[in-house]
């Protein structure tokens, strides 16, 4: 089977894991955690990085550190992995679901601006409230879908205009850049995932990055049960969200190969587009300058539905190729069906037509060629 996205663990992973066992540093303290944080901060152009147990916990702790609390609303795209919404709910807040831009599949800043203007007012306490819901708007959280970075300058302007924190779900965006390597500057905090299907994996894991050291210190405090050393004192309700040295050992070995991994991801995306561009009934995953091209694949023509995509995936499976549909929007998921929302026609029109194709960082030319031939046959 040619897998969709499996990790390449042929670097120093084993050696560093052995070192964890030999030194007994298997828990949340250890040199690999420090090293991993330094590498992630450097790769994202951030002043610092706090390693966490997962991408979901990274988003949750970032939102908490930025003051999101019970009864608030957080603006997110409906077209995202459900963990973005779950992290908002873990704060006791609700997601306000806004549509995406067709060109990059990321949250649409112009729509965010017009929805805020239409539905919100600044009240006496200086906060912005959703009039109908009577709920404070606590943060705007774009998602760097596929490693694409949207117009963050515009998001910054909107967030500053209303004095709302800007946090990014950058779960799938390690290696992405925006006009150079200034990832850390683009938002107050950004959260990454190092889950098994990500470009860089720790098995499971995450990180919060940013440029505000005080804010990062608060994130670290919250991830470590809000403990005040040296004794058993705790100054608030914190979380045990730390990454272990074992996870970080794998992560360090993976980060050593980041450049190669990103090069492959970009190559795979281009390969599919160039090899299949003659097909008139498909288009390709969008990309932005500096995108890390986490996933690659095809989009069926307008009018196609989920069953069409599933049928193609089944045909590819017959050829021993793993292909899958992609994120079903959050507003169509049972726990979120009553959340406030904008018009979501772009997400609704798009999601059923997406097919993700194999894009592991160790995929071979021969495998890519096999996928292309199989797609051509399936679509014939």
Ligand X SMILES: Cc1ncc(COP(=O)(O)O)c(C=O)c1O
Which spans of this chain sit near ligand X (rule: CB under 6 A)?
A: 54-56, 80-81, 83-84, 143, 169, 171-172, 193, 195, 206
Q: Is 315 exposed, middle or buried (0-12, 13-18, 19+ CB in 10 A)?
A: middle
What residue ranges in 175-280 does DSSP mark as E strands? 189-193, 206-210, 227-228, 233-234
Task: For the CB of residue 80, give the shortest distance to ligand X in the complex, in Å.
Answer: 5
In the complex with ligand X, the residue whose CB is nearer, 206 or 329, is: 206
Q: Which is nearer to ligand X, 81 or 129 (CB)?
A: 81
Closest CA to 199 of 2, 366, 35, 362: 362
20 vs 62, beta carbon nearer ligand X: 62
Task: Find tokens 């794998």 and name the residue.
Answer: 250
Nearer to ligand X, 56 or 342 (CB): 56
Q: Which is nearer to ligand X, 146 or 299 (CB)?
A: 146
Instruction: Please check whether residue 333 is in contact with residue 89, taking contact to mean a CB–CB distance below 8 angstroms.
Output: no
Look at the alpha carbons of 108, 109, 112, 113 in this order and tell me if their dihedral is positive or negative: negative
Are residues 127 and 135 in contact, defined by beta-carbon separation less than 8 angstroms?
no
Structure tokens at 301: 């023509």
Q: For ligand X, which is the closer residue by CB, 66 or 378?
A: 66
Nearer to ligand X, 16 or 295 (CB): 295
Minimum distance from residue 176 beta carbon to ligand X (Å): 13
Q: Rounded to whole angstroms, how far apart are CA atoms 224 and 232?
A: 12
CA distance 123 to 144: 31
Looking at beta carbons only, is 248 or 375 nearer to ligand X? Answer: 248
Round to whole Å and give the CA distance between 147 and 269: 12
The dihedrals phi and psi of 145, each to the nearest 5 degrees, come to -60, 130
Could you tell me how many residues make up the chain?
380
Q: What distance in Å separates the CA atoms of residue 36 and residue 30, rounded to the nearest whole number?
A: 10
Q: Tell me the CA end-to-end span of the chain in Å, nearest whole number.
A: 22
Report the interhelical angle of 55-65 vs 82-90 (nearest 10°). Answer: 40
Min dist. Cβ of residue 58 to ligand X (A): 7
């Amino acid at each position: 089977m040619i897998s969709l996205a499996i990790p390449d663990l042929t670097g120093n992973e084993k050696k560093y894991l052995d070192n964890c066992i030999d030194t007994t540093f298997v828990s949340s303290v250890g040199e690999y955690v420090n090293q991993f944080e330094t590498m992630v901060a450097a790769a994202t152009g951030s002043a610092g990085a706090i390693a966490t147990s997962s991408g979901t916990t990274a988003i949750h702790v970032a939102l908490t550190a930025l003051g999101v609390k019970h009864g608030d609303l957080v603006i997110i795209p409906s077209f995202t992995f459900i963990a973005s919404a779950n992290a908002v709910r873990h704060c006791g807040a609700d997601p306000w679901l806004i549509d995406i831009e067709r060109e990059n599949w990321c949250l649409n800043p112009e729509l965010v601006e017009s929805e805020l203007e239409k539905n919100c007012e600044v009240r006496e306490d200086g906060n912005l409230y959703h009039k109908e819901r009577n709920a404070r708007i606590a943060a705007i959280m774009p998602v760097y879908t596929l490693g694409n970075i949207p117009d963050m300058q515009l998001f910054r302007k909107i967030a500053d205009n209303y004095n709302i924190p800007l946090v990014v779900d950058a779960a799938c965006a390690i290696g992405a850049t925006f006009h150079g390597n200034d990832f850390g500057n683009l938002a107050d905090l950004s959260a990454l995932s190092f889950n098994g299907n990500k470009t860089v994996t720790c098995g499971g894991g995450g990180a919060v990055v940013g440029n505000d050291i005080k804010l990062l210190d608060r994130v670290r405090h919250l991830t470590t049960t809000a403990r005040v050393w040296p004794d058993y004192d705790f100054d608030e309700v914190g979380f045990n969200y730390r990454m272990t040295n074992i996870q970080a050992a794998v992560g360090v070995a993976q980060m050593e190969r980041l450049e190669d991994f990103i090069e492959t991801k970009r190559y795979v995306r281009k390969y599919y587009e160039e090899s299949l561009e003659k097909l008139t009934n498909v288009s390709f995953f969008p990309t932005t300058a500096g995108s890390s091209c986490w996933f690659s694949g095809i989009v069926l023509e307008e009018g196609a539905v989920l069953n069409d995509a599933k049928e193609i995936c089944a045909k590819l499976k017959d050829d021993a190729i793993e292909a899958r549909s992609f994120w079903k929007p959050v507003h169509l998921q049972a726990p979120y069906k009553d959340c406030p929302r904008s018009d979501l026609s772009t997400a609704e029109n798009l999601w059923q037509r997406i097919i993700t194709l194999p894009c592991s960082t160790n995929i071979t030319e021969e495998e890519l060629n096999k996928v292309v031939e199989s797609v051509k046959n399936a679509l014939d």
